[in-house]
A and B are shown apart, each in its own frame.
Chain A
Amino acid sequence: QLSVLLSLQLTSEDMIAAFSQAVDWAGCTVRAFAWHPHTNKFAVALLDDSIRVYNSNSATVPSLKHRLQRNVAAMAWKPLCASILAVACQSCVLVWHLDPTSLSTRPSSGCAQVLSCPGHSPVTSLAWAPSGERLLSASPVDTAMLVWDVSTETCVQLQWFGGGGVTYLAWSPDGSKVLAATPSAVFRVWEAQMWTCERWPTIRGRCQTGCWSPDGSRLLFTVLGESVIYSLSFSEYRGEMQGQVGGSKTASIVADLSETTFETLYGEERIGGEVHSMVWDPTGERLAVIIRGESPNSQPAVAVFRTRNSPVFELLPCGFVRGERGARPQLISFHPCFPQGALLTVCWSSGKISHIPFFFVGALEPHASPRRSPVPVLGSVREQPLFSEL
Chain B
Amino acid sequence: GAWAAAGPLRGHWAGGSRSPHAVSPQVLGWRVAAAITWSVLLLPICTAAFIILSGLDPFHPVRWISNSFNDLYTSYVIFCIFLMSMVIIIISIFNIEFYAVVPSIPCSRLALIGKIIHPQQVIHSFVHAIMGMLVTWCATVMTKGRFQFLAVSCTPSEGLEDAVPQMCLNEYHLFFLLSGAFLGYSYSLFYLINNMNYLPFPIIQQYKYLRFRRSLPLLIKHSCVESLHFVRNFCVTYYFFGYIPKVWICTTMDLHTDGKLHPLDTLSGLLDLSLFYHTWLSGVFLLMTWYIAWLLFKIYATESHHFPIQPTFAQETDQCLPKILNSNPPLLIKFLALQDLMLLSQYSPVRRQEVFSLSQPGGHPHNWTAISRECLSLLSDLTQRLIAQQEAAAAANGRAKPPVGELKVPPQTPGIASMSPLVKPSLMPVKTSPGSDVGSPFSSPALNYKMGVVDIKSPWHGPVQSPHVMRRGPKLWTSVSDQQMNGSHHESFPVLSAARTGTEAVQPRFIYTWLQNKQEQCTQNILVSSQHPEASIQAVFSDAQMHIWALEGLSHLVAASFTEDQFGVVQTTLPAILNTLLTLQEVVDRHFKLPHVSSKPPRISGSLVDTSYKTLRFALRASLKTALYRITTVFGEHLNAVQVSTEHKKRLQQFLEYKE
Question: Which residues of the other chain, B, contact A368 by a CB distance below 8 angstroms?
Answer: 562-563, 634
Q: Are A81 and B634 in contact (CB under 8 A)?
A: no
Question: Which residues of the other chain, A, contact B619 by a CB distance below 8 angstroms?
Answer: 149, 151-152
CB distance from B367 to the nearest CB of A (A): 18
The B-contacting residues of A in range 146-162, CB under 8 angstroms, are 147, 149-157, 159
Check A369/B659 contact, CB under 8 A, given A149-B203, A152-B615, A239-B348: no
C-alpha gap A117/B346 in the complex (Å): 29
Question: Which residues of the other chain, A, contact B350 by a CB distance below 8 angstroms?
Answer: 238-240
B238 within 8 A of partner (CB): no
CB distance from B657 to the nearest CB of A (A): 8
Q: Are B601 and A151 in contact (CB under 8 A)?
A: yes
Question: Which residues of the other chain, B, contact A155 by a CB distance below 8 angstroms?
Answer: 606
C-alpha gap A5/B126 in the complex (Å): 54
Q: Are B612 and A152 in contact (CB under 8 A)?
A: yes
Q: Are B600 and A113 in contact (CB under 8 A)?
A: yes
B94 within 8 A of partner (CB): no
Question: Which residues of the other chain, B, contact A117 by a CB distance below 8 angstroms?
Answer: 606
B626 within 8 A of partner (CB): yes
C-alpha gap A195/B619 in the complex (Å): 21
Size category of the A interface is 35 or more
Q: Are B203 and A154 in contact (CB under 8 A)?
A: yes
Q: Are B615 and A80 in contact (CB under 8 A)?
A: no
Q: Are B348 and A80 in contact (CB under 8 A)?
A: no
A310 within 8 A of partner (CB): no
Q: Are B658 and A100 in contact (CB under 8 A)?
A: yes
CB distance from B550 to the nearest CB of A (A): 15
Tell me if B's interface is mostly helix, strand, loop or mixed.
helix
C-alpha gap A38/B626 in the complex (Å): 13
What 1/0 flags go to B544-575 for Cβ under 8 Å of A? 00000000100010000011000000000000
Q: Are A370 and B207 in contact (CB under 8 A)?
A: no
Check A195/B204 contact, CB under 8 A, given A151-B601, A152-B615: yes
B250 within 8 A of partner (CB): no
C-alpha gap A180/B348 in the complex (Å): 24
Interface contact tally, CB-CB below 8 A? 99
CB distance from A234 to the nearest CB of B (A): 15
Among B214, B618, B623, which residue has its beta carbon within 8 angstroms of that of A133?
B623
Q: Are B659 and A156 in contact (CB under 8 A)?
A: no
Question: Which residues of the other chain, B, contact A193 by a CB distance below 8 angstroms?
Answer: 205, 343, 347
CB distance from A5 to the nearest CB of B (A): 24
C-alpha gap A231/B634 in the complex (Å): 30
Q: Are B612 and A151 in contact (CB under 8 A)?
A: no
Q: Are A153 and B207 in contact (CB under 8 A)?
A: no
CB distance from B442 to the nearest CB of A (A): 32
The B-contacting residues of A in range 82-122, CB under 8 angstroms, are 82-83, 100-101, 113, 117
CB distance from B352 to the nearest CB of A (A): 9
Question: Which residues of the other chain, B, contact A82 by a CB distance below 8 angstroms?
Answer: 629, 658-660
Question: Which residues of the other chain, B, contact A151 by a CB distance below 8 angstroms?
Answer: 601, 615, 618-619, 621-623
Among A81, A100, A194, which residue has its beta carbon within 8 angstroms of that of B205?
A194
Among A132, A133, A152, A239, which residue has its beta carbon within 8 angstroms of that of B347?
A239
Q: Are B623 and A153 in contact (CB under 8 A)?
A: no
A39 within 8 A of partner (CB): yes
Check A152/B604 contact, CB under 8 A, given A80-B629, A196-B207, A368-B563: yes
B349 within 8 A of partner (CB): yes
What 1/0 flags go to B569-610 for Cβ under 8 Å of A? 000000000000000000000000000000011011010000
Which of B204, B630, B660 counts the most A-chain CB atoms under 10 A from its CB? B204
C-alpha gap A82/B634 in the complex (Å): 15
Q: Which chain A residue shows the least CB distance to B610?
A: A154
Q: Are B612 and A154 in contact (CB under 8 A)?
A: yes
Q: Which 8 A-B pairs have the closest CB atoms?
A: A151-B622, A370-B636, A152-B615, A239-B347, A80-B629, A239-B348, A82-B658, A151-B618
- A residues sitting closer than 8 Å to B (CB atoms) are 36, 38-39, 80-83, 100-101, 113, 117, 131-134, 147, 149-157, 159, 193-196, 238-240, 243, 368-370
A-B contact pairs, 21 of them (CB 8 A): A81-B625, A81-B626, A81-B629, A83-B658, A132-B630, A133-B552, A134-B204, A147-B204, A150-B622, A151-B619, A151-B623, A152-B604, A153-B601, A154-B203, A155-B606, A193-B343, A194-B206, A195-B204, A238-B349, A369-B633, A370-B636
